[in-house]
Amino acid sequence: MGEFTTTIETRLDQAYKGLQEARNSGDDFLADTLTAEIEDLRRLADDHGIPLPR
């Protein structure tokens, strides 16, 4: 696994954890921001052929 793939996976993991925390605390702005980041990271992974679980 390359460094790029590892970075994408790590950032996604952090974003998903942050999203859960934001939702739990009722921070809608942060949840929206993290959702957009997740979408961007997943799109970037797809563009580069990095398989991710759904």
Predicted local distance difference test score (pLDDT) of residue 50: 94
Predicted local distance difference test score (pLDDT) of residue 1: 65
- Which helix or strand (DSSP H or E) is residue 13 part of? helix 3-25
Query: What is the pTM (predicted TM-score) of this model?
Result: 0.90
- Find the mean pLDDT for residues 43-51: 95
Predicted local distance difference test score (pLDDT) of residue 3: 95
Q: What is the pLDDT of residues 15-38, one digit of tens each?
A: 999 999 999 999 999 999 999 999
Residue extents of the structural domains in the chain: 3-47
Tally of CB atoms within 10 A around 14: 13
